[in-house]
């Protein structure tokens, strides 16, 4: 909304008379005259000729009116844009996540969100958990899906979303090909195709081998779930991937010891209220209802 003095200026220019301008603004004539005088003093120019028939714009007033009307239009456009943003009629949302979430968990959520809010432009970035958390922290991402805990959680808030399990996949025709489960000792000396060192998932796998007292033989380190699956299918070695990347019943779980569980959590800036678009996306994630293995799904 324009400052009061500029609203008065436009009303006088439109009505050509102080009394009619005051009436249109629901103000008294002295109040309108005072606002006009204040504006002319601030600008250092006379905006109107006072005539017996009313108020006539000076050359300076005619020039200034174009700018004030343009400003009024921009302000109104801005107000409408904010209304649209709040109503999710337009806007944008940037999301980051690892390979499991972007490939297997988020697509159905993104589809539902886009169908419901087609005016929101979605940006999705696939990165490791540490990189996603940093991007959320610096503001380049609105929301992130990460394996928790992350190395540096300063300034971030986390909400658990999915309990995932990493399951073993083995080469066809190998010793464990027909098995439904495995012992950690079965992997002694077996070549492994694992996620790259330093990633959140790899740390979980390394911890599991360490707890089982097994020294892993690493044949390959890869970033892509599909790359790991293909290498395992070609007989390069065994590997661990999310249960969400596997057809039901394909992955092997340990007969003894603790399965490799992880929590995928949604992270956002702790010092900012999420935007309406981000809140709506969180709601769609909740509605997706991804089943947790710890609640009864293998």
User: What DSSP assignment string belongs to 39-91?
Assistant: HHHHHTS--EEEETTEEEE-HHHHHHHHHHHHHHHHHHHHHHHHHHHHTTSSE
Angle between helices 276-288 and 59-86 (to 10 degrees): 20
Q: Could you list the beta-strand ranges (E) of 46-199.
A: 48-51, 54-57, 91-97, 120-126, 143-148, 156-169, 181-182, 191-195
Per-residue pLDDT of the chain (298 residues; tens, 9 = 90+): 778 899 999 999 999 999 999 999 989 999 999 999 999 999 999 999 999 989 999 999 999 999 999 998 888 777 766 766 666 878 889 999 999 999 999 999 999 999 999 999 999 999 999 999 999 999 899 999 999 999 889 999 999 999 999 999 999 998 898 898 999 999 999 999 999 999 999 999 999 999 999 999 999 999 899 999 999 999 999 999 999 999 877 899 999 878 999 999 999 999 888 888 999 999 999 987 654 444 433 3
Q: For residue 292, count CB atoms less than 10 angstroms from its CB and return exposed for 0-12, middle for 13-18, buried for 19 or more.
A: middle
CB 142 within 8 A of CB 268: yes
First-residue to last-residue Cα distance in the chain: 58
CATH topology of domain 91-162+263-291: D-Maltodextrin-Binding Protein; domain 2 (3.40.190)
CB 121 within 8 A of CB 192: no
| pLDDT recorded at residue 289 | 62
Could you give the CA distance from residue 188 to residue 216 in angstroms, rounded to a whole number? 7
| CATH 1.10.10.10 domain locations along the chain | 4-86
Could you give the CA distance from residue 236 to residue 176 in angstroms, rounded to a whole number? 14
- The pTM of this model reads 0.68
Find out if CATH 1.10.540.10 is the number for domain 164-262: no
CB 252 within 8 A of CB 180: yes
Give the position of tokens 């003095």: 5
Cα separation values, 193 from 148, 166, 168, 171, Å: 23, 13, 11, 11
| CATH 3.40.190.10 domain locations along the chain | 91-162+263-291, 164-262
Could you give the CA distance from residue 260 to residue 165 in angstroms, rounded to a whole number? 6
CATH assignment of 4-86, among 3.40.50.720, 1.10.10.10, 3.20.20.240, 1.10.287.1770: 1.10.10.10
Strand partners, 264: 147, 162
């Amino acid at each position: 909304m324009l400052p009061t003095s500029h609203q008065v200026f436009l009303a006088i220019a439109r009505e050509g008379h102080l009394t009619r301008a005051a009436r249109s603004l629901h103000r008294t004539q002295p109040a309108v005259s005072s606002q006009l005088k204040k504006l002319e003093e601030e600008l250092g120019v006379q905006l109107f000729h006072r005539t017996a028939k009313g108020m006539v714009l000076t050359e300076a007033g005619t020039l200034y009116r174009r700018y004030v009307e343009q400003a009024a239009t921009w302000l109104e456009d801005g107000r409408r844009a904010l209304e649209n943003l709040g109503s999710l009629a337009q806007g944008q949302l940037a999301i980051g996540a690892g390979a499991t979430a972007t490939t297997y968990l988020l697509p159905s959520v993104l589809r539902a969100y886009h169908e419901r809010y087609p005016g929101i432009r979605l940006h999705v970035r696939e990165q490791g958990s540490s990189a996603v958390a940093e991007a959320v922290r610096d503001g380049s991402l609105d929301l992130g899906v990460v394996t928790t805990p992350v190395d540096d959680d300063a300034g971030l808030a986390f909400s658990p979303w999915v309990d995932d399990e990493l399951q073993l996949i083995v080469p066809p025709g190998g010793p464990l090909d027909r098995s439904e489960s495995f012992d950690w000792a079965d992997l002694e000396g077996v070549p492994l195709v694992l996620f790259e060192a330093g990633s959140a998932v790899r740390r979980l796998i390394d911890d599991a081998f360490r707890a089982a007292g097994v020294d892993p033989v690493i044949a390959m380190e890869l970033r892509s779930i599909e790359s790991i699956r293909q290498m395992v299918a070609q007989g390069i070695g065994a590997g661990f991937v999310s249960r969400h990347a596997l057809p039901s019943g394909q992955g092997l779980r340990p007969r003894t010891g603790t399965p490799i569980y992880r929590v995928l959590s949604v992270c956002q800036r702790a010092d900012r209220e999420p935007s309406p678009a981000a809140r709506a996306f969180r709601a769609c994630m909740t509605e997706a209802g991804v089943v947790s293995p710890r609640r009864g799904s293998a």
